[in-house]
């Protein structure tokens, strides 16, 4: 529901960090491997193949990738960066497995938007991939659009390493 996602503050990253051990990204712990063949088109997730947790960061701004890296890598997460929605979709298709979670920027002016990226990821992989829409927009209608596009969660920028 919209109430659950309403203006998810940068504190949403707190669920992603739990030193000294690494916990699954938000939504990943709810993943049922029994649904994998149906939900994920037969693709396994990074954690199931390699161990550890991978977060796919899809954002056209390299500075935002730096923020994600500085927040998650010290906590044991692998961060894979893509500068567009098309690149993120192509990466998953090419390598043949899913990340454990994806952070998708809502506003990417070149190519497909964050909403279109979420819609395509949902179409291809169902609910097997937790999707977190990231945006500087905190209006209720922005949150609703993101959730309607398939985002599992909504995280407002700017966020800090402490978050």
pLDDT of residue 20: 29
pLDDT band per the 50, 70, 90 thresholds, residue 85? very high
91 vs 36 pLDDT, higher one: 91
- Structure tokens given for 85: 């929605």
In angstroms, the CA 23 to CA 33 distance is 17
Helices (H), 6-57: 36-39, 46-50
Residue 12 or residue 156, greater confidence? 156
CB atoms within 10 A of CB 9: 13
What pLDDT digit, counting tens, does each position of 105-163 carry?
999 988 999 999 999 999 999 988 999 999 988 889 999 999 999 999 998 887 655 54
pLDDT, residue 5, reads 38
pLDDT at 158: 79
Q: Per DSSP, what are the bridge partners of residue 82?
A: 58
**Please, are residues 100 and 125 in contact by the beta-carbon 8 Å criterion?**
no
Residue ranges of E strands in the chain:
54-58, 78-82, 101-105, 131-135, 153-156
Query: pLDDT by residue (tens digit) across 19-56?
Result: 324 455 555 545 443 343 335 667 899 999 999 999 99
Per-residue pLDDT band for 57 (boundaries 50, 70, 90) equals: very high
């Amino acid at each position: 529901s919209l109430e659950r996602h309403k203006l998810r503050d940068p504190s949403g990253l707190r669920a992603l960090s739990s030193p000294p051990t690494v916990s699954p990204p938000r939504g990943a712990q709810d993943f049922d491997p029994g649904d994998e063949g149906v939900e994920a088109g037969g693709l396994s997730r990074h954690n199931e193949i390699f161990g550890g947790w991978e977060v796919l960061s899809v954002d056209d701004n390299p500075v935002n990738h730096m923020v994600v890296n500085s927040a998650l890598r010290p906590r044991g997460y692998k961060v894979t960066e893509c500068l567009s929605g098309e690149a993120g979709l192509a990466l998953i298709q090419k390598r043949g497995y899913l990340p454990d979670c994806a952070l998708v920027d809502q506003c990417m002016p070149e190519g497909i938007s964050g909403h279109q990226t979420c819609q395509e990821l949902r179409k291809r992989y169902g609910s097997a991939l937790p999707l977190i829409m990231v945006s500087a927009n905190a209006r209720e209608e922005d949150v609703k659009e993101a959730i309607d596009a398939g985002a599992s969660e909504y995280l407002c920028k700017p966020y800090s390493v402490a978050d």
